[in-house]
Structure formats: C-alpha cells, structure tokens
Amino acid sequence: MERGFFLVLEGIDGSGKTTVAHKLKEKYEKRGKSVLITREPTDYELGKYIRDYLNKVTEQERDPLFEALIFAADRALHIRRRILPHIEKGYLVISDRYFYSSLAYQSINGIDFNWVLEVNKYMLTPNLAVFLDVAPSEAIKRIHHARNVFEKKRFLEKVYNTYLEMVKRGMLIKVNGNKNISEVVEEISLLIDDRWK
C-alpha cells in the first residue's frame, strides 16, 4: 500500500488555514486519494480542555509554560491515535496546526524557543509544513471574536515574527496567503506532489 503524506498548515489566527485545508481535501479526493483533516488542539478530552481554557483567558493571563506542556501532551495522543494510523493507511493527513504553533505561541514571556522545541523533540516530523503568510493587520480583520483588538494585534505580531523566524531556519515553507484561494491551493499542491512520490 502507498504510504500516506503528512501535511501541516500553520499561520496566525485568521490566516485562512481551515478553508485551505478543505479545498485541498476536495482536490485530492477528486484524484482518488483518501484525505483526513485534523486539528490541534484536538477533539480529544485534553483538546477540549485546552479550547475551554483559551476561551476563558485574556492574552495577558496566558501561561506559556503550562500551555507548552499541555499542547504537547494533546499532540502526543493526536499522533498515536489519529495521525500515524491514517498515514499507515495511505491517507493525506492535513493537520490544521502542529508543534510549530507551540513554538510560535508559547515561546514568549521568558519561555524560550529552544525549550519548546525540546518538549516537542519526539513528535513525528511532517512531510511538509506550510506557513500561510497573512500579515497581522490583515488577519485581525477576519477575527470577529477578539475581545481586545489592540492587545490581540500586538500578540499576533509576536507570533507572526516567530513564524517568519522558522521560515528563515527552513522549518516552514512560506506561501502567500493573500492570493486568491485557488492559487494558494495550487501552490501547496505543487509542494505536496514534489515530495509525495
């Protein structure tokens, strides 16, 4: 059986990852592939707890140490229960966020990037990890639920810069998320096809 492919989509809130994931799914299903869209935080117990926590705290109240650990625990289950079994069955697995989100969102307030990287050391490496590049000023317009827009924008700028740093290090491949959706999907599928042989 053909081995699957593990694609990760990353970006700041409001960058359109979820829409891109669904369009990619349609495209690859038309080609006869089995596709799984999954996400982090997951829909497992811990993932639900995390979503609930994120809904309750403001950006200032967030605790990156706690978050880095709990996101990693949720991820370990995600890999074992969902990602690996589907890759083994030949699926294209598309994860809406992965450990790059922990590096971008939790390496703040004294928690350094390398420590977050270390916590995620044993997580499965994806075949391709894409950073959907949409500037914070643009993304914020698409987020309707931000409680404090100014605070949210400052926070997202830090997150955005860390993503760019990962692009520089070669950990993520940048795709311009401002283009129209079909161009974005085309660009990502070329990257997939190049690697999925």
Task: Closer to ligand TMP by CB, 38 or 106: give it.
Answer: 106
Task: Closer to ligand TMP by CB, 46 or 191: give it.
Answer: 46
Are 112 and 135 in contact by the 8 Å Cβ rule? The answer is no
Task: Closer to ligand TMP by CB, 59 or 187: give it.
Answer: 59
Q: Select from 57, 10, 9 the least CA-distant residue to 160.
A: 10
Query: What CA–CA distance (Å, rounded) separates 37 from 91?
Result: 10
195 CB-contact burial (10 Å; exposed 0-12 / middle 13-18 / buried 19+) = exposed
Report the interface residues with ligand TMP, using CB under 6 A: 13, 40-41, 54, 67, 71, 97, 101-102, 105-106
Question: Least distance from C-beta 64 to ligand TMP, angstroms?
Answer: 8
Task: Closer to ligand TMP by CB, 12 or 92: give it.
Answer: 12
Query: What CA–CA distance (Å, rounded) separates 24 from 35?
Result: 9
Question: Least distance from C-beta 140 to ligand TMP, angstroms?
Answer: 13
Query: What CA–CA distance (Å, rounded) separates 142 from 144?
Result: 6
Residue nearest to ligand TMP (CB): 105
Question: Least distance from C-beta 67 to ligand TMP, angstroms?
Answer: 6
Task: Closer to ligand TMP by CB, 67 or 133: give it.
Answer: 67
Q: How many residues does the chain have?
A: 197
Question: Least distance from C-beta 186 to ligand TMP, angstroms?
Answer: 23
Contacts of 63 (CB under 8 A, 6+ apart): none
Question: Least distance from C-beta 26 to ligand TMP, angstroms?
Answer: 20
Question: Least distance from C-beta 147 to ligand TMP, angstroms?
Answer: 13
Q: Select from 118, 92, 90, 117 the least CA-distant residue to 104.
A: 117
Task: Closer to ligand TMP by CB, 31 or 142: give it.
Answer: 142
Q: What are phi and psi of 154, to 5 degrees?
A: -60, -40
